[in-house]
Amino acid sequence: MLEAREVTKFFGEIKAVDHVSAAVEEGSVYGLIGTNGAGKSTFLRMAAGILKPDSGNLFIDGQQVFENITVKQNLFYIPDEPYFLSNATLEDMGIYYSAVYKEFDSARFREMSEQFGLVCRHKVAAFSKGMKKQLAILLGLCSGVKYLLCDETFDGLDPVMRQAVKSIFAKEVEERKLTPIIASHNLRELEDICDHVGLLHRGGILFSKDLYEMKLDIHKVQCVMREDGADIEELSKKLDVMKKERRGRLCTLTLHGNKEEIMRIFEEAEPVFYEVVPLSLEEIFISETEVAGYDIKSLIF
C-alpha cells in the first residue's frame, strides 16, 4: 500500500501540496485528477522519493520513501517529460535500467520494443514525444516494480497506443498486482481503467473515492410523469435528489441511493416512461463536487 499522511510541500511561499492524505491499495489503479498547478506532479515526486515533504509522511508498504533505496526498488516514476541519457539509444537505456533495477527483464524489454515499433539502435533524442512516452512506459513495465507512478502518461500517445497501454496496465494489475498511480488533467482518459479516483485542487484533495462504490451510489433517471398522476416534485420528496433538469415533460434526475429502491419508488408512481441511464465518470464527479459546493467544470475543464 502507498499511504500519504497529511503531506505538505512548499516552494518558497507557494504551497504546492496542502495536507494531502490518501491510501492506494496494492493491485488497484488510482487516478489523480486535477488542473495544471493543482499539485499532482509534486505529489508524485514526493511519492517517488525525489522530493521530501515539508511536513507529513509518505509510506510504501509501511516504510518511508525518501532516501530509502529498498523501497525505491519497488517503484518507477514516469514524469510528464521523461529524461534519457544524452546521446543514448533505446538499447543503452535498457542496459542502464537493468543496472538500476534488479528485477529488470531485458528480454521482455527487447520484445516489447519491437512490438511498439521502437528500434533498439536508434537514438532516443530523435524520438517523437509519443515515442519517448512509450519508451518510458516500457522501461517502467519491464523494471519489475510494484508501483508505477505516471504523470500525464497518456499525453502525447495516439488513441490506438493509449488503448494498448491501458490494456497492458490492466493485464499487469491482474497478473502480478501492479499498482499504477496515474495523474491526469483529463477525466475521460481515466474512466475505463481506474478503480479509485482522487480530485486534487489547489494542493489539497477535495475527495477520494472508490469508483465502483460511487457508481453504485449515484444514478441518473430520465422520466415522463402522467398528467393525472404524481408530479415530479411530489416524487422528489421520496428521493435523495442531487440534481434536477427539465426539458419539456422530460425530467432528468441525478440521485443518491440504492438502485432497486429508486426503481421501486418510480414503479409505484406509474410514470408514462422512465429509465435508469448509466453515468460517466465526468457526470459522477460533476454531481459529487456540486454537492460539496464546487464547480468541477471550472476545476478540470
CATH number of the domain within which 249 lies: 3.30.70
Q: Has residue 299 got a pLDDT over 60?
A: no
Instruction: Specify whether 144 is located in the same domain as 279.
Output: no
Amino acid type, 139: L
Domain boundary among 158, 177, 202: 202
Q: What total number of domains does the chain contain?
A: 2
Q: Chain-wide mean pLDDT for the chain?
A: 88
Instruction: Specify whether 57 is located in the same domain as 169.
Output: yes
Residue 276 within any structural domain of the chain? yes
Mean pLDDT of 287-301: 59
Instruction: Specify whether 86 is located in the same domain as 197.
Output: yes
Instruction: Specify whether 115 is located in the same domain as 264.
Output: no
Instruction: Specify whether 50 is located in the same domain as 156.
Output: yes
Instruction: Specify whether 162 is located in the same domain as 271.
Output: no
pTM for the structure as a whole: 0.81
Mean pLDDT of 16-34: 90
More confident: 210 or 206: 210
Q: Are 148 and 243 in contact (CB under 8 A)?
A: no
Domain boundary among 175, 202, 229: 202
Instruction: Specify whether 161 is located in the same domain as 78.
Output: yes
Q: Choose the weakest-confidence range: 31-40, 126-135, 156-165, 245-254.
A: 31-40
Angle at 124 between CA 39 and CA 181, to 5 degrees: 30
- Strand order, beta sheet including 63-64: 14-24, 2-11, 55-60, 63-64
Residue 209 within any structural domain of the chain? no
pLDDT computed for residue 279 by the predictor: 82
Residue 93 within any structural domain of the chain? yes
Domain boundary among 180, 202, 224: 202
Specify which of 183-187, 245-249, 281-285 reaches the highest per-range mean pLDDT.
245-249
Instruction: Specify whether 132 is located in the same domain as 239.
Output: no
Q: Has residue 273 got a pLDDT over 70?
A: yes
Instruction: Specify whether 168 is located in the same domain as 268.
Output: no
CA pseudo-torsion sign 254, 256, 258, 263: negative
Instruction: Specify whether 56 is located in the same domain as 9.
Output: yes
CA–CA distance, 2 with 58 (Å, rounded to integer): 7
Mean pLDDT of 116-122: 88
pLDDT computed for residue 296 by the predictor: 56
Domain span at 97: 2-202
pLDDT computed for residue 228 by the predictor: 67
Q: Are 43 and 92 in contact (CB under 8 A)?
A: no
Instruction: Specify whether 191 is located in the same domain as 236.
Output: no
pLDDT computed for residue 224 by the predictor: 92
Instruction: Specify whether 177 is located in the same domain as 239.
Output: no
Amino acid type, 191: E
pLDDT computed for residue 248 by the predictor: 86
Start-to-end CA distance of the chain, whole Å, equals 31
pLDDT computed for residue 298 by the predictor: 57
Residue 207 within any structural domain of the chain? no
Q: Has residue 287 got a pLDDT over 80?
A: no
| Confidence tier at 28 by pLDDT (50, 70, 90) | very high
Specify the CATH number for the domain of residue 116: 3.40.50.300
More confident: 102 or 292: 102
Q: Which three cell numbers stand for residue 19?
A: 495536507
Residue 284 within any structural domain of the chain? yes
Residue 147 within any structural domain of the chain? yes
pLDDT computed for residue 154 by the predictor: 86
